[in-house]
Amino acid sequence: MAKTKAIGEKLNVKKTVLIGFGFMASSIAWAIYDPLIPLLLKDFLEDSPRVAQWGASLAARFPDLMAVLLRSQGQNVSGSVAGLNLVPLFIGLIMTFDNIFGVIFQPTFGKLSDRMHSKYGKRRPFIFFGAPISAVLFLLIPQMNSLGALMTCIILFVFVMSLWRAPVVALMPDLTPPKLRSEGNAIINLCGGLGGLIGMMAGTVFCAIFGFNSDLKEEYPYVFGLAAAVMIISVFVLRFFVHEPDSRLKAQGEANAAADAAAKKALAKEEKARLKSEKLSKAERVSLIFMLFALFFLISGTNAIQTFFSLFAAEVLDKSGSEATMMMAIFAASSMISAIPAGIVGKKIGRKKTIMLGIGTFVAVFLLYAATKNLALIWVALVLGGAANMFITVNTLPLVLEIGGLDRVGTYTGYYYTATFSAQIASPIIYGFIATLTAKTAENPNAMGYLSLFYYCPGLFVMALLCLLAVKHGEAKVDQDALEETVKQVELENAD
């Protein structure tokens, strides 16, 4: 019998890369925002008498709580916090704004995008509106000359970014057949990883080319300007090279059909039946809830690694800050290289099995290092752990979206980010408390210290695995139309 590929079974890589421009623009901005905004805040906060007064008052009233919160921001706290500079705590709290805004606003804007009717589709209007405003605000941030003005720009920026983040992520699943979403998400994550790399390297490159003095932050306007320019470019790419169906057509068709009284009654009955059929069954709701809990535990684990690895490297491995950064860069590079294989494996053996494979690998290599403390095994943990992390990341979003269905991609993208951002808010505080309990002190020099990180993270991943076992939905359904078309094509080939 002649062999042929099913129609619709091959991913349109070019289109997916073009869709990924929006996510790449967002990733560049956050890769610049996360390391540079704290430095801008530090300059203003350290010069503020009011902030110094607040810090002294908080340290005097709540010393134990301040110790936990300082550890949650990656500070190496030993002894009393009374004499410590609490500016890093204020910076850490401000840096959670993007996660807090994401939890509050992204589900709302994701749901609104599901209901958007425009000639540009459901998602792109949010991007066309939000990305240019985000670009302008990002461009203004390094120009601010007061703490109040800087905070205003930061708050407006993170709010507007939350407006279009869910829609830009939902665009790929909208335009990709469900069975191919893991592969599509792999390309989107690859675009995001490339954007993150560009953002991280931009300052170094500008200083090398133009001879800027990094201590004076001379490169900052150009670095922030680069991200702003890419956001504007992404709008043009999505406007002219990515074609989202006119979402007014369905609404217009329903309105025309409703013009006749009898048709209107029939349409109302049909719409009621459709809405009822779209509601999640009890089993699907259980799968969704457990999947979101699994996401919470997974992101809590990886967030702790990213936040506290430099402290672990200094205390346990005796590595400098730059050496720790290089080690985490290897983790990130391994993740990025594994994006495409993660999508292919997810398509071949299923999303849930691929996620479980990633979790099992991650737990095994981290616990192996923790048990042996062999220096060579830390590199194995970073390389294989980075790859395993991408096997998880690439397949979780498509699994959540599959549970929600085709008409609610924006809503369920919002749910996805609610779980992940909640983890990014909670995990540093939770591990900060654990690090406080396990800290090495003069009285207890043999305490576990930051090695507890290599037990905390696998522990959370095991909890995620237990949640995942309760997830019974989320695999790609068979595309019946494509299947029937394939059968006809095979029959025609056999007839010839």
239: how many CB neighbours lie within 10 A of its CB?
13
Residue 478 has pLDDT above 80, yes or no: no
Instruction: Name the pLDDT band for 101 (thresholds 50, 70, 90).
Output: very high
Higher pLDDT, 163 or 326: 163
8 A C-beta contact, residue 483 and residue 395:
no
Q: What is the pLDDT of residue 353?
A: 95
Q: What is the pLDDT of residue 79?
A: 63
Please write the tens of the pLDDT for every residue from 448-464.
888 999 999 999 999 99
CA angle at 277 for the pair 275 and 282, rounded to the nearest 5°? 115
**CATH tag, 13-62+84-240:** 1.20.1250.20
Residue range 266-283: mean pLDDT, rounded: 63
Residue 116 has pLDDT above 50, yes or no: yes
Instruction: Name the pLDDT band for 154 (thresholds 50, 70, 90).
Output: very high
Residue 275 has pLDDT above 50, yes or no: no
Residue 1 has pLDDT above 80, yes or no: no
Please write the tens of the pLDDT for every residue from 181-210.
999 999 999 999 899 889 988 998 999 999
8 A C-beta contact, residue 327 and residue 305:
no
Query: Which architecture, in CATH terms, is 280-480?
Result: Up-down Bundle (1.20)
Instruction: Name the pLDDT band for 440 (thresholds 50, 70, 90).
Output: confident
8 A C-beta contact, residue 342 and residue 390:
yes
Residue-averaged pLDDT of the chain: 85
Pick the range with the lowest mean pLDDT from 148-152, 382-386, 396-400, 436-440: 436-440
Higher pLDDT, 69 or 20: 20
Q: What is the pLDDT of residue 443?
A: 72
Residues whose CB falls within 8 Å of the CB of residue 235, separated by 6 or more in sequence, listed in order:
127, 128, 131, 132
Question: Quick one: which of 34, 327, 413 has its CA closest to 195?
Answer: 34
Spatial separation of the C-alpha atoms in residues 27 and 30, rounded to whole Å: 5
Percentage of the chain lying above the pLDDT 90 cut: 51
Q: What is the pLDDT of residue 326?
A: 84
pTM (whole model) above 0.75? yes
Higher pLDDT, 243 or 256: 243
Q: Is 434 exposed, middle or buried (0-12, 13-18, 19+ CB in 10 A)?
A: middle
Instruction: Name the pLDDT band for 8 (thresholds 50, 70, 90).
Output: very low
Q: Locate the domains of the chain by residue range.
A: 13-62+84-240, 280-480
